[in-house]
Amino acid sequence: MQLTKKKSPVNIKAALTLATTALLGTLPAAGHAQESSKVAELSSWDFDTAFLYYSESDRVSAAEAIINAKKTFENDQVLNLKLTIDSLTGASANGATAQPNVQTFTRPSGKGSYQTDKNTTPLDDTFKDTRVQLNAQWTQPLAENYTGSAGIHISKEYDYLSLGINGNLAYDFNNKNSTFSLGLSYFQDTFEPEGGIPVAFASMPSAFGSDENGNKALFDATRLTDSDDKTTADIMLGFTQVINRRMLMQFNYSYSKVDGYLSDPFKVLSLLDSNGYAQDYLYESRPDSRVKQSLFAQTKYHFEQNVIDVSYRYMWDDWEIDSHTIDSKLRVPLSSTSYLEPHLRFYQQTAADFYRPFLMQSNPMPMFASADYRIGEMSAYTVGLKYGMKLSDGNDLSFRLEYYRQNPKNAGYQAPDALESADIYESVDAIIAQVSYSF
Amino acid sequence: MSRSYFKPYRVSRRCYSVILLTVSLASGCSSLGVQPWERDLLAKDEMALTSSPLDAALDDHIYFSKEASSGGKSFGGGGCGCN
């Protein structure tokens, strides 16, 4: 992104620089600092900011703000600090199937219940969370043609803590036209969900309300622990190649191993009788490990004016999920200071081998099962448009508006009679709106 | 025959393809590229592989929480309880 060296007329940049340097403890002591060196230091931080609003029709909406501060030191050392704050509210599918009658579910906390109308996808409307994330990344040349980078990640929300570290080594060769890179990252996450971690396949208990002695004990009997952990170890091998003056390509191979608690404590499955009527709701159960691998290829091509960016990702894992993603953007300059960028993205995935839209009483219980549509068969697409401009003071402003649609599909499960008029694989529509400002 | 019977074969064939691709890229790419003075277009911000890092971070977060896949272009690891 173009980062101007010009000073903003409104002195937000100077104020933010002061705040950043004060936080880092690098602010020169007053009286010792020369005014000119102070100005030079103040002007060498670059800020990228973005505000995004994401809204699904009748479901979740989220607002997310990011501020990224970047400083380039002598010898091409780069420090990048990023603060992300997001807030989530709304309703999320709880995994149960629609029914020809009204359904009642216990809230995750056990302290109340909610109802779903007949022939309507059950949504748990208690989702509300705020998350704060901090990232710091240091990048520097290590030797001729070698660049190293290391970073830390902290993310905290009401019921979730994620700590991560990463390291990356890049080697340039062939006159810096080719680059090999090796990256490693490790995350340690702790999940402390409202109401605790449910026992796999336990029946959803009744809400205990004010009955602290009776139903509370029954509720607690369905809980395993208060919290659980998850670790994620990633390895990424990358190769970037300049093809010619107008074109470059990148290829990545990623291997990711996730261990620990991988279920969603808020998701259940409907246990249906032979006619399709729900007899019970059972908490889902996923394996405690997952190995994901992916191949990614991207190319950028500069036409006379326009720039096209096309990428493809093939992902597969040991849950038998395969996915294909094609992402493309075309940047069309409108003038020397503005551009339009249409965006198209197509996504398709197969279902995890333990995905079940519902369980049947007549069938033996599987070892693992989840009705989470996000690991079911699905296709999705995104259509978007971005408009960006350079302001008279040299700063960048852009707007992005996108439409995202998910179409869950039947992976070959025959629905019983009672579900005939229910939409088990309901589509999800979302609008994404974003404003970005760099200064 | 179970699906898992084929799994080692599938993985090894993919790994073989990756190695083959990498070797052929590394050996075939020495003739590709530009001279330092031909980098005028490549040096433009819009030609960076990730030309809008914040857009990419926001998109990664959305799709990580709504789909079963993540990463590929960058690390797709943990980070939030949204999935």
A211 pLDDT above the threshold of 80: no
- Specify the pLDDT at position A134: 96
Complex ipTM above 0.95? no
Question: For A148-157, A205-214, A246-255, which range has the lowest pLDDT when averaged over its residues?
Answer: A205-214
Q: What is the pLDDT of residue A248?
A: 95
What is the rounded average pLDDT for all residues in chain A?
90
For residue B59, report the phi and psi dihedrals to the nearest 5 degrees.
-65, -45
**Sorting pLDDT into bands at 50, 70 and 90, what band is A419?**
confident
- Can you tell me the mean pLDDT for A330-354? 97
CA nearest B43 in A: which residue?
A245
Q: Which residue has the higher pLDDT, A411 or A330?
A: A330
- Name every chain B residue with its beta carbon within 8 A of the beta carbon of A129: 81
Q: Which of A356, A351, A360, A355 is nearest to A417 (CA)?
A: A360
State how far the Cα of B52 lies from the Cα of B56, in Å rounded to an integer.
6
Cα A150 from chain centre? 21
Nearest CA in chain A to B24: A239
Contacting residues of A for B73, CB less than 8 Å apart: 252, 296, 298, 311, 313
pLDDT for A237 equals 97
- B22:A239 CB<8 A: yes
The arithmetic mean of pLDDT across residues A298-307, rounded, is 96
Which residues of chain B are within 8 Å of residue A263 when distances are taken between CB atoms?
Answer: none
The fold of the A44-438 domain, in CATH, is: Porin (2.40.160)
User: Tens of pLDDT along A231-286?
Assistant: 999 999 999 999 999 999 999 999 999 999 999 999 999 999 999 999 999 999 99
Interface touch B53/A88, C-beta < 8 Å: no
Q: What percentage of chain A has pLDDT greater than the value 70? A: 89
What pLDDT is stored for residue A364 in this prediction? 95
Give the CA dihedral B70, B73, B74, B77, nearest 10 degrees. Answer: 20
Instruction: Give the least confident one: A43-47, A118-122, A413-417, B52-56.
Output: A43-47
Report which of residues B41 and B77 the model is more confident about.
B41
Neighbouring-strand partners of residue A136:
A81, A152
Range scoring the smallest mean pLDDT among A35-39, A366-370, B64-68 = A35-39
Cβ neighbours around A254 below 10 Å, total: 25
Tens of pLDDT along A184-194?
A: 999 999 999 98
Confidence of residue A5 (pLDDT cuts 50, 70, 90): very low
Closest residue of chain B to A127, computed from CA coordinates: B82
Number of H helices and E strands in chain A, helices first, is: 3, 23
Q: Which pLDDT score, from 0 to 100, does residue A439 have?
A: 93
Q: How far is B1 from chain A (nearest CA, A)?
A: 16
A33 pLDDT higher than 90: no
- Say whether pLDDT at A358 is over 50: yes
Kindly give, in sequence order, each residue whose CB lies less than 8 Å from that of residue A38, ignoring residues fewer than 6 positions away: A28
Enumerate the H helices of B1-83 as residue ranges.
Answer: 3-28, 53-66
A202/A284 Cα distance (integer angstroms): 8
Q: Mean pLDDT, to the nearest integer, of A66-73?
A: 95
pLDDT score recorded for residue A4: 44
CATH 2.40.160.40 domain range(s) in chain A: 44-438
Q: Under DSSP, is residue B50 helix (H, G, I), strand (E, B) or coil? A: coil
| Arithmetic mean of pLDDT, A69-90 | 93
Residue that has been written with the tokens 């208990």 in this structure:
A205
Q: CB-CB: which of B30, B34, B81 is closest to A191?
A: B81
Q: Is B43 on the interface with A (CB under 8 A)?
A: no
Counted across chains A and B, CB pairs separated by less than 8 A come out at: 204
Looking at residues A105-126, what average pLDDT do you find? 89
Query: What is the distance between the alpha carbons of residues A266 and A227, in angstroms, rounded to a whole number?
Result: 13
Best to test chain A binding among B46, B50, B60, B64 (most A CBs inside 10 Å): B46
pLDDT of residue A206: 86
Buried b (16+ CB within 10 A) or exposed e, A263-272: bbbbbbbbbb
Instruction: Kindly report the length of chain A.
Output: 439
User: What is the amino acid identity at position A46?
Assistant: D
Examine the pLDDT at A375 and tell me if it is beyond 50. yes
Q: Which residue of A has its CA nearest to B51?
A: A1
| Subunit contact B33:A178, Cβ cutoff 8 A | yes
Residue A23's pLDDT band, with cuts at 50, 70 and 90, is low
